[in-house]
Amino acid sequence: MTIRGKIAANDERASVQNRLIRPISHHRHGRPCAGHPRIDFLASRTAPQELCLTHTATLVASEQEARALVDRIGEDAILYERSVDLSEIDPDHWQVLVYFEEAPGAAERKALATAAAGIIGTKAAFAIAALPDQNWVARSLEGLKPVRAGRFLVHGRHDRARVRENDIAIEVEAGEAFGTGHHGTTAACLIAIDRVLRSRPVRNALDLGTGTGVLAIAITRAAKAPVVASDIDAVATRIAEENARLNGVAGLVHAVTA
């Protein structure tokens, strides 16, 4: 029996409205992020680092202008390392959001103004703002509700109290991997697994493209069968192993980097 752990991994990324157009350059170093959002990234597969984002520069324009502005920022000698987000407000208005680790200095402000003027005109200007100091982890978890699919309930640590007596609970912390059950493909796979396991016994299984390992964990929790959880991303297999341990099935889930 083969279960495709990620039918459309890219769809889960694309479902986020505000897309990160360009990740932060790997050779930059961050600082502690108390009260501010952070970006985790890998300078190498074995050396995770984080960057603290404290300020943004925002400008709203037409889609054509906004996309051209993102390209211009990427070509600028001062701004090219910055992380840029492009999102649609409505069909006529698109937002360009540039992130900074500290308040942009005179050179960066001038570069932003020059880029905007070159694409939109001299009246266009980026609005500089400091990101609020708050518990961003708690804020992000507020919108991440448990997912019920068949007998399975996929939840985070913050929702342990929602587990019912007959639920097959799967606690998942996504981290840098994808697969929290919120995307339709993952939920559909969980429902399919539930139906298959109700109809016949399963001796072993393959979770291909495991991500967080949620499907592998579901099979082991419901069928007590060993599962090979495979992914091309070493970060994903590491997180799958961690989630298997968290759910008490580490002995049945064998995570492999393809």
pLDDT tens column, 59-110? 999 999 999 999 999 999 999 888 898 999 999 999 999 999 889 999 999 9
Range of the domain at 24: 17-136
Domain boundary among 86, 114, 136: 136
Nearest to 220 by CA among 198, 202, 196: 202
% of the chain at pLDDT higher than 90: 52
Alpha-helical segments (H) within 38-121: 63-75, 106-119
On whether both 29 and 120 belong to a single domain, the answer is yes
On whether both 62 and 121 belong to a single domain, the answer is yes
| CA 157 vs CA 111, 138, 152, 174, 231: distances in Å | 43, 12, 15, 11, 24
Which distant-in-sequence residues (6+ apart) come within 8 Å of 10 by Cβ?
A: none
CATH number at residue 48: 3.30.70.260
**Are the CB atoms for 5 and 229 separated by under 8 Å?**
yes
pTM attached to this predicted model: 0.51
| CA 74 vs CA 22, 48, 83, 176: distances in Å | 8, 24, 9, 25
pLDDT tens column, 159-182? 888 899 999 999 986 554 455 666
